Structure 1
């Protein structure tokens, strides 16, 4: 029997996380198009519902069912992740996109702290430096999109943005703990199921009319979320929570690029500087520069 195709090991960690970052940026772009037209609860519920529909097709096609592992951890992944997504959408709805993404982009810091406390994951010097660089770079990119008069006052939007970062960091650590006893689809099932249960009451409370003009962006939010989240969860079986946090800090940079190209947002020198700092942090923190040097040396030899 011919063995089925398997993704090479060198592509399973950081490269997959970079790919998922691109998709998460596309999702953020679609979410931005829905801001003010649908409530945060509606957008979140649509995202999770499309994910559940995908899984309803996925499991029969694959000929298997969910593999839950430790049920309490499986439930916690969905609760933390679902609440983080809803709060993130609240932050976008209550604030401008720049400050909301800037606050949410701090989740790797909380993931590093929680991963060290509960998973005993070691934080090396290069990894910590890469995390700091990418956080600073992402912050510069998002700060460049703000108007001169914008300030980060601690209103509901700011609290929601910070809450989404804390819960997002906790969710990533739980994913890391689960990935060796379950699969990406089962983890994604928890995310969609508990996320829908969490966001649906808010959607019903603040229901806004649905029209064909919101159908395409909402479908974009759901579909890009499915592929990005499945890729993200699978990749975290091959990296630590902190290393994953370093790679996924590219999401704000990709969001800025898509906004500049597709929405005509201004390209400032500060944004370009932040993008370069962010990419340097990813290359340094994940050790990609060292691997490229070693590959080049082997090629030269």
Structure 2
């Protein structure tokens, strides 16, 4: 029998997270292209529906059944993740891509705090200092949305972006709690199923006509999210929550560059300053130099 190809260990952790960060940035760009053309509920529902279609073929083709693990944790992953994505798309709809993605990208700090509260993970002074910096940076990004001429919806979008970070952190902590009981596809099934249940009522309440001009961006949101989320979840089998969070800080960088270059979005100096402070807080608080090494690559005796 020909041996099945397996991805080398050195590519299973941080490199996969960096790859997923690029795809998440493309997804954010596609979502921004739909701003004002589809409601937030429609964009989120489209993402989750495409994910469920993928899984409807994935499990039969590989002759696998979902591994749920503890059902309450499996369901919580979907609820937290679905709500986080809805708020994330709301932020993208009402703000420019860069600040919205930056606020969402502060989730590793909140994941660390939530992990301390519910999983008993260690909290250090470095983490607390990182939390302070991240909070200050996020505050600067949010303050930039209240500058002269900014609308009320931009302020609401900023709060939505911050809320998506908190809920996203909670979802990642649950993923780590399930890492030995479930698999990437089963966790993604929870994310799509409960995410669709969460966002569909909002889509039906504010339904807008679907024209051909929105099909490609909506497919872009759905397809890039499938590959990015599967890769993201799989990679967390080989890295810690905090180390993974550091790698995903590339997403706002890619998103900001794409938004500026392709959508001609204005860059606020205050928002950029806040983004840099926020990223510094995440990198500092998560101990990047110690934690970037994948868990599976550590020597065994």
Decide: shared fold, TM above 0.5.
yes
Q: Please show how residues 153-192 of structure 1 align to structure 2 within 5 Å.
A: 156-192=156-192
Q: 1:12 to 1:256 in 2, by over 3 A?
A: same
Shift of 1:187: 0.1
Extract unaligned runs of 5+ from structure 2: 293-301
Q: 1:267 to 1:20 in 2, by over 3 A?
A: same
Extract unaligned runs of 5+ from structure 1: 293-301
Shift of 1:267: 6.8
What is the alpha-carbon distance in structure 2 between the residues aligned to residue 19 and residue 223 of structure 1? 14
Tell me if 1:4 matches 2:13: no
The answer on whether the counterparts of 1:103 and 1:158 sit within 8 Å (CA) in structure 2 is yes
Q: Please show how residues 1-301 of structure 1 align to structure 2 within 5 Å.
A: 1-123=1-123, 149-150=149-150, 156-265=156-265
The answer on whether the counterparts of 1:142 and 1:252 sit within 8 Å (CA) in structure 2 is no
What is the alpha-carbon distance in structure 2 between the residues aligned to residue 239 and residue 124 of structure 1? 19
What is the alpha-carbon distance in structure 2 between the residues aligned to residue 262 and residue 38 of structure 1? 20
Q: Secondary structure of the equivalent of 2:238? A: coil
What is the alpha-carbon distance in structure 1 between the residues aligned to residue 136 and residue 290 of structure 2? 22
Normalising by structure 2, report the TM-score: 0.82
Q: 1:279 to 1:173 in 2, by over 3 A?
A: closer
Q: 1:289 to 1:109 in 2, by over 3 A?
A: closer
Moved more, 245-254 or 276-285: 276-285
Q: Secondary structure of the equivalent of 1:207? A: coil
Moved more, 97-106 or 198-207: 97-106
What is the alpha-carbon distance in structure 2 between the residues aligned to residue 48 and residue 251 of structure 1? 20
Shift of 1:16: 1.4
Moved more, 114-123 or 91-100: 91-100
What is the alpha-carbon distance in structure 2 between the residues aligned to residue 197 and residue 87 of structure 1? 15
Match of 2:299 in 1: none
Q: 1:91 to 1:182 in 2, by over 3 A?
A: same
Q: 1:249 to 1:149 in 2, by over 3 A?
A: farther
Match of 1:295 in 2: none
Normalising by structure 1, report the TM-score: 0.82
How many correspondences in the alignment?
292
What is the alpha-carbon distance in structure 1 between the residues aligned to residue 206 and residue 220 of structure 2? 22
What is the RMSD computed on CA atoms of the aligned residues?
3.4
Q: Secondary structure of the equivalent of 1:122? A: coil
What is the alpha-carbon distance in structure 2 between the residues aligned to residue 15 and residue 142 of structure 1? 31
Deviations 1:127-160 (A, max 9, x none): 7777877888888899889976448899543443
What is the alpha-carbon distance in structure 1 between the residues aligned to residue 197 and residue 249 of structure 2? 28
Q: 1:243 to 1:163 in 2, by over 3 A?
A: same
Q: Secondary structure of the equivalent of 1:239? A: coil
Shift of 1:195: 0.4
The answer on whether the counterparts of 2:145 and 2:155 sit within 8 Å (CA) in structure 1 is no
The answer on whether the counterparts of 1:82 and 1:196 sit within 8 Å (CA) in structure 2 is yes
What is the alpha-carbon distance in structure 2 between the residues aligned to residue 93 and residue 12 of structure 1? 33
What is the alpha-carbon distance in structure 2 between the residues aligned to residue 160 and residue 272 of structure 1? 19
Q: 1:130 to 1:224 in 2, by over 3 A?
A: farther
Shift of 1:97: 4.1
Q: 1:217 to 1:123 in 2, by over 3 A?
A: same
What is the alpha-carbon distance in structure 1 between the residues aligned to residue 161 and residue 267 of structure 2? 25
Q: 1:104 to 1:288 in 2, by over 3 A?
A: closer
